[in-house]
Structure 1
Amino acid sequence: MSATETDVPVDERLCVALYQAAHAMESAHRPLLRAHGLTYPQFTVLAVLDQEGAASVTAVGRRLGLTSSTLSPLLQRLEQQGRVERARSTQDERSVLVSLTAEGRRVAAAVRDVPVRITAAGGLAADEQAELVATLRRLVERLRDADVTADLPSGTPAV
């Protein structure tokens, strides 16, 4: 790694900018979702189910990049609120399907305009937003495929 790469001020690093952007995005959503008793992760699950209908828990997790350890309690809470229901697949008993209840469909419809409002607040043109999303998807894919520990000296713990 060159000295110029390690000397980048913290507030100019990609990781910090992405963290700040994610925090700002979630914060912008919060007041719009609070009125409906939703957290941001719950909102994303409802949005997937609203668009696609019933889906396996695995498929929902894959779409949102969530692990089952994150998704399971989230779904449990939505189920307790009467917004989703889970059932074993009749084709594959190992698979659990999740779908919106009538209440879930009502809430999903009520928050359908949230992405439009957030996009407008962000001030990006449609082509800028599409380019940013494509760039972020490439970054996520590359980071998932990367072995960031490959050049660590032997015996160095990967934290």
Structure 2
Amino acid sequence: MKQKFLDEMGRLIPQIHRALARKGSGVLTKGTITVPQMVLLEFVNEKHMCTVTDIAKNMGITKSAITGLTDRLIRSNLITRTRGIKDRRIVLISLTSKGKTAILRLLQERDNTIRKAFEGLTDKERGLYLELLRKMYGNLVKTNEV
């Protein structure tokens, strides 16, 4: 693989990631929510209710780090933390109505940003891009980079 390719990819991927993160962060609360908090909100939105362990596995961080993230989101009234009925050691996380509204706004803005990024590309080009991303992610999973 040529160094020029590696250098350009090394510049472009973080630039695109930052552009998407900045856009989403501004939509939610004018930058008071971090990217990890947004990832957590999106995961909880998908699952409706999940454990701290589920979130930690999904995000690849410790349960104690999740506790810190959830504490801030609880103070912002975006999520709730409850104990399991059968096993009180289990901590369940779910979105509040404010959290649901916030994540829906974030997802709409993310979709709009992605739409803008892909303007001018054909359906075939967009499909190829998606196929390549899936392959790249698969390569990272195989090598335990994810």
TM-score normalised according to structure 2 size: 0.73
Deviations 1:7-55 (A, max 9, x none): xx8xx59xx94x9845751453123322312221111011111111100
Instruction: Report the equivalent of 2:63.
Output: 68
Does the 8 Å CA contact 1:29/1:118 hold for their aligned counterparts? Answer: no
Q: Deviations over 1:92-130 (max 9, x none)?
A: 211100000000110111111355456553886111121
SS in 1 for 2:92: strand
**Which amino acid in the other structure matches residue 31 of structure 1?**
K
Work out whether 1:101 is the aligned partner of 2:105.
no
Distance in 2 (alpha carbons) for counterparts of 1:25 and 1:48? 18
Preserved CA contact (<8 Å) 1:42 1:74:
yes
CA distance in 2, matches of 1:89, 1:22: 39
Instruction: Tell me which of 80, 84, 87 is aligned to 1:85.
Output: 80
Identify the residue that residue 152 of structure 1 maps to in structure 2. none
Matched residue pairs, number?
131
**1:135 pairs with 2:139:** yes
User: Which structure is higher in RCO with an 8 Å CA cutoff and minimum separation 6?
Assistant: 2
Kept in 2: contact 1:26–1:40 (CA 8 A): no
2: distance between equivalents of 1:114 and 1:35?
Answer: 7
Quick check: which one's helix share is greater?
Answer: 2
- Quote the sequence identity (%): 19
Q: Which runs of 4+ in 1 moved over 6 A?
A: none
Shift of 1:63: 1.1
Distance in structure 1 (CA, Å) of the matches to 2:14 and 2:57: 19
Letter in 1 for 2:22: R
Of 30, 34, 40, 1:39 maps to 34
- Are the aligned partners of 1:88 and 1:94 in contact in 2 as well (CA < 8 Å)? yes
Write the distance in 2 (CA, Å) between the matches of 1:107 and 1:39: 13
Q: Which has the larger radius of gyration?
A: 1
Distance in 2 of aligned mates of 1:76 and 1:107: 17
**Paired residue secondary structure (1:99):** strand
1:57 aligns with 2:52: yes
Identify unmatched segments of 5+ residues in structure 1: 1-8, 145-159
